[in-house]
Every structure is written in C-alpha cells, then in structure tokens.
Structure 1
Amino acid sequence: MPESRGPNLRQALHRTARHHADNEALADSQHRYTYRQMLARAQQTAALLFGLGVRKGDRVALMMLPSTIHPIALYGCWELGAVPVALHVREKLPVLVKTLERISPRALIYDGSFADQVAHIRAQVPLITGYVRARSEATPPDKIRSGNEPVIPDDLDRYPLDFEPMALAGHDLAAIVLTSGTTGIPKGVLHTHAKLVESCRAAVYPFGLTPHSSTLNMFTTSFMGWSNLALPYFNIGARQVFHDHWDPKRVLRTIAEERLTNLLLVPTMWRLLLREDVESHDLSSLRQVGFAGEVMDLPTLEAIRRRICPRIINCYSTTETAVSGGTAMFPEDLARPDKIESVGKPLLNSEVRVVAAGGSPDDELPPGEEGEILIAGPSLAQEFWCDPPLSREKFVGPWWRSGDLGTFDADGYLYVRGRVDDMIISGGINVMPGPVENVLLAHPDVAEAAVVGLPDPQWGQRIVAFVVRKNPALDDAALDAVVQQSDLPGYQRPREYRFLDELPRGNSGKTNRRALRQMAEGG
C-alpha cells in the first residue's frame, strides 16, 4: 500500500478491501464489483491518468452519471493523489466551460452520452490535455468509443499500476465539490482527505451502518448528497446499487430485488415515490429510511412511516459541512409528535448556533428566537476555490454561515425554517414557505407544492403557490378553502395559485424556487 501521512480516502479503500475483500461494493445494470475488484479497477484508473500526465494535486473533472464506474474514477483519482471535481452534468454548455476554466483540470473523464457536449469543450477549453471516456448503462452504443481514446472500464486491464503513488496526508486537498447554485458559476468547496474521512465516520451511527448494509444511490454525482451517502458505505464495506436516473417504479423494484436495507432520498423524491403502488412491492428488507436536503412536510413524513418503513431519520448538513457538521433526528426523536418538525441535535463533535441575521458567532439567540444557523465541526470545508473574499465572508473562524434560518427549542432541538433568500416579506411581515406548503400538501389531491413571493406594488411581495395536482379537477377555490380552514393566519394565505405538471428542480433534486420566481415574472 502507498505511504500515508494521516487519514485519507485512499487509505480508507485499501483498508476496506483488505478486511472486506469479497463483500460486494458496487452494482448497476451492467457491472457488479467486490471491494477487491473495486480497488483493482481504481488502481488501473490511477495508472491510466498518470499516463495522461496527471500528478498529485492536479484536478480531474468528472462528467458522469451515477453508476459503478463513477466511484471507480473517483477512487482512481485518490489512488494517484489527484483532486476530482464532479461537474453538474445538467448545466448548459457556457456554464460548464466557465466552470472548467475556473477549475483548470488536467484531464476530463466523461460518460459517452455526453460526447457531443465534450466535443465543444475540447474546442473551447484547451488547458484540458487528457480525455477518458466512461461507459455506463446510459451510454448509447455509438458513443462508447471514439478513436484511440481510452474507455473505462473496458480498457483498464491495459493499465497496470506499476509505480508507487506519492504519499497522501490528511491535510491534502481531496475534492472540490461544486455548489448547487441556480445562477452564475457554481462555487467550488474545498474538502481535505481528513475532513471527508471524518464525515464517513460521523455518518455510520445515524445511518445505522454495518458491513452488511446496502442502499440505492441515484443522487447526481456532483451533489454533496452523493458523497455524504456513498463514502460512508465504502468506508465500512457495505453495498451500493446505482441508478443513472430517477425512476420511482424502478426504485421500488430494486429495493425488493436487491433486498436493500437502507434508503435515503430528498423529500421531493419521497413525494414522487409515494404516488406509486408502493404496497405491491416487498419492502420488508428495509431497516431504516431517511431524508435530507430540504424541509419535509408532515403529511409525507407520516406516509413514509405508514407505507414504507417505520424507522426514519432526518439529516441536516450542507455542501460546506459534510455529515459531521450537521444534525440528525433519530427514529426515536421522530416518534415524538412534539418534535416531528425538527432536524434534531448536532452530530458527534459538531456545534450549531442560531445567531442574529448578519451577526457574529457571539450574537447567539435564546431558544425560540429565529436567526441564521451557524455550524462548526470536524468535517467543515476549508474555503472556496479561487474566491478569498467569499471565503472570508462565509467561514468565520471555526464557523460556517449557512444562510439557513432556524430556531432552537428549549430542549435543544433545531428547526430549519427555510433559506434566508426564501423568506417572503408581505406587508412588512416575514412569511416562510414551509407552513403554507404543509397545509397545501395535506390536501389529498396535491402531489407537490412550492410557495414563493412575487413583486407586488401594494404589499411588496404577494404569496403565490405553485401546485402539481393528482386530480386535474382541483382548482383555486378548493385550495383556498383548505387554507382558510387551517390554522394559518390570513397574511400567510396565498393570493394566487398556479398549476404545473412538475416543479423545476436544481442539480441536487431540490425544488428550484428561483426558477419558479423567474418563470412567474417572465410569464
């Protein structure tokens, strides 16, 4: 094994492959790999990249879909000491080009399904000197090969690791994780090896992981949620199945066929899954499910418990904090009706404060008062790539300014009320979307709902609800009647309802409220 100086992700995979060599690590519709095989493929990928001129510390861009090949490429970078940067594959070409110019990678590993976009990237980003094509279940047959360009995993046997990679230290940069911003160029969040290893350790106990656990991962590869889910499983020797796209029917079949033990989704995915015929599938293998990424509405939470699995966790973290810089609600916490809206208490060795908006970490608010959530923990990122001013603004000593609004209750449970940017100010009164959306989602004919504020000459902003219907007969009057019969005060009542076939989503799968506002103001 190559020399290591402190905890790192290369060392972590070597240890797992030594102690759990025959445990299945990766599975999709094309390939299945044990940990012994996964390590061998990762080492071959490292040799391939080395041959393309990649060295320790060089960036390697990954333009890939969820599959068994993506983690092999990821750990191939770490075997060599390179720094992977997973791109937002759904971004438009000009944003991808600007992102690559800012990150300046030496090589690009891309799924063959993106061959047409990459042809434009070649012409516009000359600093990339090495290209590797990947084949997944999504790759069209005519896009598998192009000239002499190497293909993984097909060509990996041609690249034995016949040299010892340079030593890795815990403080070495491990990954640049792109934020899921909706405008401009995504920010690059810098995570070291030691911090991501700490994130793996912290996730084990809320996830309830053992080497016999298994899960399904279909998160976008650039989303920190992919890493927060995937890396702890690899660290402990558990199994992951990958889908290259979201298909709720396929998810239900896979849980039954693979006898999966765990499932973690964002709330939007849970709502879509619950629209399917869940009861016709054998989900008895599930020991625990969970949600993360955004606030969950109570009707969906109750439906998960009743129809999917009674043991539910809720994790709250950010791209900048990874797992151990966040909070968790355990099944026992979520069983308490008075705490069901909480995201829990800080995880092991992390700290969370609620401070006055724009205040310093010392401006801590008492329980019950709403302010900005600040987070500190052992997996907190270092800074942003090539943006010292923003780094100074967001990273204050050991603290990270999350931009989320929240409160603590008297028992120390944290409640996330939404984003500072999501707050609606109508008639001088602050309104958060969550409580309004909960009322709408309780209606049996509502599949999804999102509430935003739009400019209004009289009130500053008016509250507008975007709704996806289960029943096309549902109309404004029926929704307004439900709202008026609820406990919502009059100033929180939507003044307008708009019906959509689906809500726009960002790279992480969350509802894109900015896109809704732009859509409404443009139309």
Structure 2
Amino acid sequence: MTNDSGCDTINAMLARAAESHAERTALIDAGGRCTYRELFRQVCRFARLLHEAGIRPGDRVALLMPTSIMHTVAVLGCMCARAVPSSLHIRESARTLSEIGNRLAPRAIVFDLGLRTQADGMLAAVPSLEVSIGAITPATPGDAATAGAGLPWLVPRDLAADGMDGLPDMGAPSSGDAAAIVMSSGTTSVPKGVVHTHRTLLASAANGAHYLLAEPGRCGINVFSTGFIGWYNCTLPYLMVGATLVLMTEWDPVQYLRWVHTERVASCILVPTMWRMVLRSAPEDYDLRSLLRVGFAGEKMDPDTFQAIRQRICAQVMNSYGATETGTWAGCTMMLPEDYGPAARLDSIGRPARGVELRIVRQGGGIDEVLGAGEEGEVVLRGPSVASEIWRQPELTRQKFEQGWWRSGDLGTVDADGYVYLKGRTDDMIVTGGINVLPNAVEEVICRHPAVRECVVVGLPDPAWGQLVVAFVVVDRPIGGDELEAYVRDSDLPNFQRPRRYRIVAELPKGNTGKVNRKALRDQYGGIVQPAAARPL
C-alpha cells in the first residue's frame, strides 16, 4: 500500500489541503468552525509562537487539552514547528502525569485553562518544562478563561498578534522524523509513549480515508479523547482528503445524534459501550440517513448491540483491530460490512487491511515460527503505519517490534478464509494445577446468564493450585455465586475451566479507554481470596 496523498509529511498534507480546499469547512466544534485556509493559517501561527517561545526541532511538547479546534491547531502546529507533540489524557492522576512528564521530558506544555491545576502540578514536578502556554477551548470555564488573561502565552489570543503569519525558518521535516508521541492505554504501569513518524501517520490516514469513505463534501465526527491513537485515526483521514470533521469536546450520546443529524455526518467510529448509550437515546428521533458506514473498535461487540446498530442506525457496520503501536488503519485487521455472512463471523476481527501482513506464530517463539489455519498462537502484524519505537524504553522496543513486525500479545487463530479470531491475551493466561486456562471462553459462558451484565475472569494466587480461576461479575438483579456456579456447571464448559470463586461487584475497574483492568483486580484481590478446597480439575 502506498500513501495516496502524494505528500511525505503532515506539513505538506496541510499545505496542500489549504490550497485545494481553501474555503471548505475543515473543523467544527461547540465553539465554532473554520475553513481549511483558516486552519492552516492558525497552525502556522502556532508554530511561530512555539519558535518565539524557544521551542526547537525535536523538542517535546505536552498537551493537556480536550478534543477541540484549538487542540487540533496545537498538535498540527507542533508538527509544523518540527517539535513532537504528545497529548496526555486529561483525567490521569497528578502522579501519573508527573511520571509521564519525566519520561517524556517535554520543554513546553499547552493546557486548557480549565486544567491549570494539573498543568501547575506538572510544571512543579517535571524539571524539563520551561514554557507553559494557556489555551481557551469550548470546555474552558468562564472564570478560568478570565483568570488566564495575564498569562505570558495564551491562545488563541497570541495567534492574532502582528507578525505571526508564515512558518518560521526551521528547515523541512522528513517523512521519517518523529511526528507525535502517542500514549498507550496499557494498564500495567505508567502509559508508554509510542513514537509515530510523519510516514506512519500518513499511511494510517490514507487507509483510514478509504475505509471511512471520506472525501470532500462529506463529514465525519471524532468523539475520542486527545490522549489516544483513536484521536489521530478519526482526524487525519478527513483532513487528508479535504472532508469536514466535527470534534466532540465531551461525549454525550444525545449531542452526538444531534451532530449527525445537523451536519449530515457520513461515517463514524464508536466503542461498543458508546453505541449502547446511543441506542438508549432514541436514535429514531433523528435523521441518520446521511450515515454511509459506521464502525466499532476497542472492545468486543455483543450480537444484540450489533444487530440493533444495523437496524436502527446504519446497515453498513465495520470493525477494526489495531493498537497505538500499529497506528491502526495501515496496521490492523478490518471486518467490512460485506464480511458479516455466517453468524459465527461476528466473533472475528476480520482480515488484514490493505497493505498489512498478519501471522499467527508459536507463543513464545520467533517471528518465523508461523502456525497453520486453526492453530492457536500469538497474533503479529506488519504494515506501513506500524511504529518502530517505544520512547526511551529500548528493551520494551526490542520485545514488541521485530523485523518490522509488532507482537500484539494477543492469542488468536486464522481460519481457512483468512478471518482472524482472538482467543485471549498471552498475559491473561491462567495456569491452575499446571493446566492453561484462557479467560475468554469462561467469560462468554457466564455472560449468557440473563442476570449478568458484565464479567471478567482472572487468575489469583493459591497455595494448592498455583492460581485459582476467579470470576468477578456485575449483575442486573440480586444473585449469588451458588446460582452462577450451577449455571456454569450445566454448560459445556470443561470442569477445569470453571471458576472456583465468584465475586459479585458493583463495577469492574476500567482504564481510560473503557477496557477492564485485569491487573487492578489481581492487585486488589490477590491476597484475600481464600484457598480453594481440594477438588479435581
């Protein structure tokens, strides 16, 4: 697959879009809208502001901002200044932000004035920070905006100053230069920074425009937080082709439906949890006929929600599987609308996207130890948008990337038609009495119980068995572990896979992307689960 844009850097892509689509609306948020000409002008001015503040090529710039036009200007302005932006999740704890900052070592921070407390905490804890730039977005509280008027650097105020037009003379970036450091959503430690270049981001954008059906005159919508690769995946494809993009500063299913209705949105991606919220918000009250294709990613989709989306929202549904490390669109698998034939395929994550290679390799083995159809092993991917570096973590880089391949840590199989099915995580494996148990199959059985809303299964330490299979369950009506045990015992789940303990909980711990944090459960309950009685596996 080649980069369809004909541009080798984000800078060149923006300049071309401003020339080809000057008066077309580029971005919309709750505070207004801007054309491609206006967007490029503001981006260039932001790059000049960074230069005047002392930021130079290669310097990292941390951003604490919600999804908005101003955030987009800041990200793209950093790239055009040849600095390296890194958007941090605005709901991270102060401690985590400081730890990320000290690993990232940014020279500047750009922050929404409503997040000044968090920014001040980072300025106090991260010695490398020398420059702070306040920003006003649609999410900025009025009193915070007023209080920020005295800051030495404030946008958009300072972008209107005389002499700010045109990019500073810093030389042109190359396609292999770092364009952004994107934080992963891992739950095992402090989020790691994945380095993406202009080349990998453009490759992802080109494939994304293809799958999102983006083109001039069509509109998309980005609901994702700025701190994740999803923001890039749902922004750059539209800007590459001169389409219009709505940026949702805060997630609200009713406002989402209003945006789709009023702006005639043609394509969008949500996580399944968001889709369920949309379905509960009377979508029939809105005109959604503009939708040509919708998609989901980030977590498994249940059959009822999938069918409801097709019947009540849009018949054309797709699914993608990727990660921060893969840049997603040109380092992923795709399940396209036409792929959903047999009912069993709903469990598939699809086939490799355009220009992407996928292998199933022996767990713990080398990249070339490829398994055949139906054999279970680790999923590895290679494609034009796959990153090649974890920021300042060389050992982890060596573990995750090999000969251009990314090791997913996911276990899966490929069928005879090339469709991929995930079976679990290599690090989620439970070893009980010397027998390996993957939690997915156990969770699927428990989730069939009509009273169960959510379930996650983990292995907890046990002196007799090494690990116990323990189920944490969120229910819709009062039930006990005995009822769940009887239900699972009557299923076709093998005895050795059955949970030995059930814990009914009010909610499951989840990370910023909505994925269940299994490590948090292991850490919280690992020392208090009673030993299992000796019973045969």
TM-score, with structure 1 as normaliser:
0.92
1:179-204: per-residue Cα shift (whole Å, max 9, x none)?
22224332221111112111111222
SS of the counterpart of 1:27?
strand
- Does structure 2 retain, via aligned residues, the 8 Å contact 1:223–1:507? no
Aligned with residue 248 of structure 1, among 238, 244, 253? 253
Partner of 1:213: 218
CA offset at residue 157 of structure 1?
Answer: 0.8
Percent of counterpart pairs with the same letter? Answer: 46
1:66-110: per-residue Cα shift (whole Å, max 9, x none)?
122111111111121111111132222222222212222121101
CA distance in 2 between counterparts of 1:427 and 1:168 reads 56
> How many residues get paired?
518
- Does structure 1 retain, via aligned residues, the 8 Å contact 2:109–2:119? no
Partner of 1:330: 336
CA offset at residue 484 of structure 1?
Answer: 4.7
CA offset at residue 440 of structure 1?
Answer: 4.3
Shift of the 487–288 alpha-carbon distance from structure 1 to 2, 3 Å rule, reads farther
Report whether the alignment pairs 1:200 with 2:210.
no
Which runs of structure 2 are paired with 1:471-486 in the superposition (5 Å)? 471-473=476-478, 476=481, 479-480=484-485, 483-484=488-489, 486=491
Shift of the 9–361 alpha-carbon distance from structure 1 to 2, 3 Å rule, reads same
Report whether the alignment pairs 1:94 with 2:95.
yes
CA distance in 2 between counterparts of 1:482 and 1:212 reads 53
- Does structure 2 retain, via aligned residues, the 8 Å contact 1:59–1:84? yes
Runs (5+) with no aligned partner, structure 1: none
Partner of 2:165: 161
Q: Higher mean Cα deviation, 22-31 or 513-522?
A: 513-522
SS of the counterpart of 2:364?
coil
CA distance in 2 between counterparts of 1:215 and 1:437 reads 35
Partner of 2:179: 174
CA distance in 2 between counterparts of 1:297 and 1:245 reads 25
Partner of 1:239: 244
CA distance in 2 between counterparts of 1:244 and 1:480 reads 44
The RMSD of aligned alpha carbons is 2.4
Q: Higher mean Cα deviation, 144-153 or 198-207?
A: 144-153
Letter in 1 for 2:130: T
Report whether the alignment pairs 1:316 with 2:321.
yes
CA distance in 2 between counterparts of 1:211 and 1:476 reads 56
Partner of 2:442: 436
Partner of 2:22: 21
Partner of 1:362: 368
Q: Higher mean Cα deviation, 507-516 or 362-371?
A: 507-516
Shift of the 107–367 alpha-carbon distance from structure 1 to 2, 3 Å rule, reads same
CA offset at residue 360 of structure 1?
Answer: 0.8
- Does structure 1 retain, via aligned residues, the 8 Å contact 2:319–2:349? yes
Q: Which has the higher contact order (CA 8 A, sep 6+)?
A: 1
Report whether the alignment pairs 1:506 with 2:511.
yes
Shift of the 509–217 alpha-carbon distance from structure 1 to 2, 3 Å rule, reads farther
Partner of 1:122: 123
CA distance in 2 between counterparts of 1:488 and 1:420 reads 21
CA offset at residue 267 of structure 1?
Answer: 2.7
CA distance in 1 between counterparts of 2:103 and 2:34 reads 35
Letter in 2 for 1:420: T
SS of the counterpart of 1:324?
coil
Partner of 1:110: 111
Shift of the 217–467 alpha-carbon distance from structure 1 to 2, 3 Å rule, reads farther
Shift of the 215–460 alpha-carbon distance from structure 1 to 2, 3 Å rule, reads farther
CA offset at residue 426 of structure 1?
Answer: 3.5
Shift of the 249–455 alpha-carbon distance from structure 1 to 2, 3 Å rule, reads farther
1:102-159: per-residue Cα shift (whole Å, max 9, x none)?
2221211011121012222222223211111111232222222152332222432116
CA distance in 2 between counterparts of 1:341 and 1:486 reads 20
Aligned with residue 230 of structure 1, among 232, 235, 253? 235
SS of the counterpart of 2:472?
strand
Letter in 1 for 2:366: S
Q: Higher mean Cα deviation, 431-440 or 308-317?
A: 431-440
Partner of 2:191: 186
CA distance in 2 between counterparts of 1:305 and 1:25 reads 29
Letter in 1 for 2:181: I
CA offset at residue 11 of structure 1?
Answer: 0.8
CA distance in 2 between counterparts of 1:137 and 1:441 reads 40
Which runs of structure 2 are paired with 1:270-419 in the superposition (5 Å)? 270-322=275-327, 323-419=329-425
CA distance in 1 between counterparts of 2:288 and 2:440 reads 30
CA distance in 2 between counterparts of 1:336 and 1:234 reads 36
CA distance in 2 between counterparts of 1:504 and 1:406 reads 25
Shift of the 284–444 alpha-carbon distance from structure 1 to 2, 3 Å rule, reads farther
Partner of 1:147: 150
CA distance in 2 between counterparts of 1:486 and 1:289 reads 35
Shift of the 437–15 alpha-carbon distance from structure 1 to 2, 3 Å rule, reads farther
CA offset at residue 347 of structure 1?
Answer: 1.4
CA offset at residue 517 of structure 1?
Answer: 2.8
CA offset at residue 19 of structure 1?
Answer: 1.5
CA distance in 1 between counterparts of 2:455 and 2:47 reads 45
Aligned with residue 461 of structure 1, among 455, 461, 467? 467
CA offset at residue 367 of structure 1?
Answer: 1.0
CA offset at residue 353 of structure 1?
Answer: 0.7
SS of the counterpart of 2:235?
helix
CA distance in 1 between counterparts of 2:135 and 2:324 reads 26
CA offset at residue 464 of structure 1?
Answer: 3.3
SS of the counterpart of 2:347?
coil
Letter in 2 for 1:220: S
Partner of 1:50: 51
1:22-58: per-residue Cα shift (whole Å, max 9, x none)?
3222222112112222111111111111110112221
CA distance in 1 between counterparts of 2:488 and 2:220 reads 38
SS of the counterpart of 1:90?
coil
Runs (5+) with no aligned partner, structure 2: 1-5, 529-537
TM-score, with structure 2 as normaliser:
0.89
CA offset at residue 369 of structure 1?
Answer: 1.1
Letter in 2 for 1:386: R
SS of the counterpart of 1:289?
strand
- Does structure 2 retain, via aligned residues, the 8 Å contact 1:16–1:235? yes
Shift of the 161–202 alpha-carbon distance from structure 1 to 2, 3 Å rule, reads same
1:413-469: per-residue Cα shift (whole Å, max 9, x none)?
111222211223334433333333334444555443333333334443333333444
Partner of 2:531: none
Shift of the 522–231 alpha-carbon distance from structure 1 to 2, 3 Å rule, reads farther
